[in-house]
Chains A and B, each alone.
Chain A
């Protein structure tokens, strides 16, 4: 065991970077007369280097990590003494990959924001502050500490959408904010209730997740608390019917905002469901499994059907997220090891492929200044590399075997099927629908006639290669060899799934019978 505070350093390095950026704001701009910032101004580089450094540090976590079920690299310190709110960080195989996904995507999102010209230092500082908040939420083991991080990410995200977004950005930002706030309010109440309860039940007030787990709660109380947590996280996921903020937020957010929103922020909802709902209220989780599964399945089909008809490519991708996150939640609540592991690895996969889809939409927009599929077309002839990248990412997203998305989708559907067949069968229609809307979007932008005004569209630039290639490599690597991830996820997934495991699957029965 190393005594190096890996988690604290990883979490707060970006925030430190943000502070440095703001301190550097008075530095002279290269193009002040244009009111903008030039590409060789220092701020983007500082942000990029800080986020890259964070990624490197997080790789240190990976080397320290052991494939065991419990929390590791735990760091503890007192914080608010009288309330026994403590600074407790730690991670298991589930949060490990959320942390890595975050630190991996952030430098790429920053690279993709090179052309942002307004208020660059503040924009970059917002992104870095956002990174700290997200990382903190993934590793906090004290409920109030979690809440602080969870709330803390709202403000920078609100700014990113509201200031640097497009079109109806303010409407989108406010909507995002209000939805999430509504959920957060319930979450705070529930957390406080739990802490009060612990005073009598555990003989001392605590917000520490590891201690609260063992607390006995009356069934009705547990159900109410479950719902309070659930609404907060379901908004984030987002689960049908709480998803309507997402298309607006995504559509108006700048590219980096969409990437982070889809890539990481949504995962926080699914992560919260595993970390808190399942862990704290296993019995209530079982009681509500039918409801959650139903909402997830509706979300899968509904999100896909609505995506079918979108002509704004960014909205299309946003609705595809609703569908794909439905898969994640379905797996988490399946009550089988395959479902849970699939749900976790699919969180990573969705972050990669949907993050990449938003990057591609950004590249398309930079070139054509439109997101309207009807005005695109024929680009594969002018920009074969962009077309190829788009195709690989679309195939990843639609779950083509050999790419990452399939691994998660297979495990989720298999795990769900093993527990209850009907939801898995209905959810599987999402597999067909995703092929329809993604290939349609691909055809409309890349195939057919090239509009005259797109005749001189350039292919990928060096910078664009720099942020797409790492994602493509990850997409292929996870698809071909997911073992390094699955081996680390499995112990933690197993620990969680035991809380709500369904009766031994029919397969186990056969296996046992075969053993005689």
Chain B
């Protein structure tokens, strides 16, 4: 089966091509066809996984070359896929969650005039994402990397008649491309110093690199990760990306694409480890982003934007894990997050479906009675996100905090606890304002149809039972499976005074504390939260605008940039450069005496030049003979 790995990205790619070229005739079956192909991809991935589990742990890395792609001199970038535990965990997550979200979309997007186009893009996204995670060299990874960026652009701007959607799509593409370009330079540096772009060669040579070189490569690659995974300071595109259809937010902007950066760091960990500072940068960027985005999430009134900032924050958590060397835990949290965050987004989509697009939590309330399945789904997702014991998020988050603690990074651990506290607050607030209390506006919500509810239920089961796959950082199935790729998980001799159980208790207490505080404010009825909003208006606005980072970019970069471009175009190019060249030209024309009537004079100039040339030739002839 392993040789058939190419089918995994090829099936959804075929779907995308078919739906793009024959969208109209295939319109009625577009959703089914697209779902089926992603489902088939999932099945192939499972079969490959079974093959992989059948061999010894050390033989679980297979390279499958498809064809030569770009090859010049010593530079070779083939289309070559890599089957190993890490790529398969990613492929299974992408195809599994991807399949559920495809199915959900069949009803969600029903009746949209560009229904076929939607599924074409969604299939194309899955194909690109699979290319990204299955690539066996940096350049092919970059192909997937930019490919998912394209699909993100297309799907955010899917309802392009709306200015906001079109703007958001473009912004996502451009902001992430800044990171991508840094990453591309990182790839050049890797090639220039190791002579290859293949993973085995590059990462194998990492240990022999000068520390400065390794740092440069690692940080350049990380810049790509920061863009794609919406970390500070390139996070500004993700909240705006919520303009896209909600299933898109679930798949691309929560479960899969945005986690590509985490995957990259884990995949390239050999380079990060060869540098003295790179991993530290990863951890710090991660934790700062986690806290920053968590605080911003508290200030959002748009349910999807709460989830967007939550995603940024959780991605920060994953980078924290990678930054302290707990790669398997980072990937486990990635998978766990894919489940519960997709669930939260699909629940939010279900709300939008029921309220005709109303998603402002200050206008919602009391939806639980009308939409029990959706409310329950959101609650399960939210509890998993908050890290309530025995749900999947509890295990993964607990392991991250424990890893930070055991690595002796007490500061990171404490800040991580703060982030966990904030997480519990914002998600509880979002749940209570949406589903509990009295309705705050005249809406007639209804529960969503089965094709939407069933995927939510499946994800809900995953969010509840997922912990079984990775209950322990040392012995969890996922973590052990990943071991050969990312290094065996080591049982740290507890660096501090606290035992693992103690750490778990503290983490759980923090989560419960956050939920309790949010309940006291928004659910108990004893506090008038609307009065609080008015009283702390300045702080609330700062939170809701993400501490004005985006506004600062607008004022400091975009506006001056436009002015500079404008100056270049209207003054520099037309007056200075062109003026100078025209001036010289005019002088010549005057010399030739045809300045007055340029139109007719031109032909004369040419004739003159021609004659001069001919004369020169004749002269040569005369001289020679």
State which of A104-112, A288-296, A302-310 sits at the interface with chain B: A302-310
Within residues 322 to 377 of chain A, which ones have a CB less than 8 A from any CB in chain B? 336-338, 341-342
CB contact list, B134-182 vs A, under 8 A: 139, 142-143, 146-147, 150, 153, 157, 160-161, 163, 166-167, 170, 173-174, 177-178, 181
Within the complex, the shortest CB–CB distance from B116 to chain A, in Å, comes to 11
Choose from B166, B192, B193 the contact partner of A443 (Cβ within 8 Å): B166
CB-based contact B70/A507 at 8 Å: no
Could you say which residues of chain B place their CB within 8 Å of the CB of A483?
68-69, 71
Query: Which of the candidate stretches B40-48, B308-316, B417-425, B582-590 sits at the interface with the other chain?
Result: B582-590
Question: Of the 9-residue stretches B102-110, B275-283, B326-334, B563-571, which lies at the interface with chain A?
Answer: B563-571
Q: Is the interface of B mostly helix, strand, loop or mixed?
A: helix
Bitwise, B85-101 to A at CB < 8 A (1) or not (0) is 00000000000000000
| CA of A449 to CA of B69, assembled, Å | 41
Partner of A481, one of B69, B193, B582, B598: B69
Bits for A178-199, please: 1 = Cβ < 8 Å to B, else 0.
Answer: 1101100100100010001000
Chain A residues with CB below 8 A from B572, complex form: 306
Contacts of A446 in B (CB 8 A): 160
- B372 interfacial by beta-carbon distance below 8 Å: no
A486 touches B71 (CB 8 A): yes
Q: Which of A401, A440, A480, A514 has the most CB of B within 10 A?
A: A401
Residue contact B157 to A447, C-beta cutoff 8 Å: yes
Interface size on A, residues (CB 8 A): 81
Q: What residues of A have a CB within 8 angstroms of the CB of B598 in the complex?
A: 170, 174
Could you count the A-B residue pairs with CB atoms below 8 Å apart for me: how many are there? 188
Contact string against A for B residues 360-374, beta-carbon threshold 8 Å, 1 for contact and 0 otherwise: 000000000000000
Q: Contact: B181 with A411, CB < 8 Å?
A: no
Is A418 a contact of B585 with CB atoms below 8 Å?
no
Nearest B residue to A240, CB-CB = B577
| Given A170-B599, A447-B160, A486-B70: A424 touches B565 (CB 8 Å cut-off) | no
Q: Are B173 and A439 in contact (CB under 8 A)?
A: yes
A241 and B157 alpha carbons, distance in the complex (Å): 38
In the complex the two chains form, what is the Cα distance from A480 to B189 in whole Å? 24
Binds B, one of A57-65, A209-217, A222-230, A428-436: A428-436
Q: Per a CB cutoff under 8 Å, which of A179, A188, A429, A514 touches B585?
A: A179
Query: Which residues from chain B contact A424 at a C-beta distance below 8 Å?
Result: 185, 188
Do residues A244 and B573 form an inter-chain contact, with CB atoms below 8 A?
yes
Residues of the A chain whose Cβ atoms lie less than 8 Å from the Cβ of B573: 244, 247, 306
A83-B568 in contact given A244-B573, A341-B72, A507-B74 (Cβ < 8 Å): no
Q: How far is the CB of B47 from chain A (nearest CB, A)?
A: 27
Report which B residues bind A (CB closer than 8 A): 20, 67-75, 117, 139, 142-143, 146-147, 150, 153, 157, 160-161, 163, 166-167, 170, 173-174, 177-178, 181, 184-185, 188-189, 191-195, 205, 561-562, 564-566, 568-570, 572-573, 577-578, 580-582, 585, 588-589, 598-599, 602, 605-606, 609, 613, 616-617, 620-621, 624-625
Chain A residues in the interface with B (C-beta under 8 A):
82-83, 155, 158, 170, 174-175, 177-179, 181-182, 185, 188, 192, 196, 205, 240-244, 247, 302, 305-306, 308-310, 336-338, 341-342, 378, 380-381, 384, 388, 395, 400-402, 406-407, 410-411, 413-414, 417-418, 424-425, 428-429, 431-432, 435-436, 439-440, 443, 446-449, 480-483, 486, 490, 493-494, 505-508, 510-511, 514
19 pairs, A vs B, C-beta closer than 8 Å: A83-B620, A174-B602, A178-B585, A185-B609, A188-B616, A192-B620, A241-B577, A242-B581, A247-B573, A306-B572, A309-B565, A310-B569, A418-B192, A432-B181, A435-B174, A447-B161, A481-B69, A483-B68, A483-B71
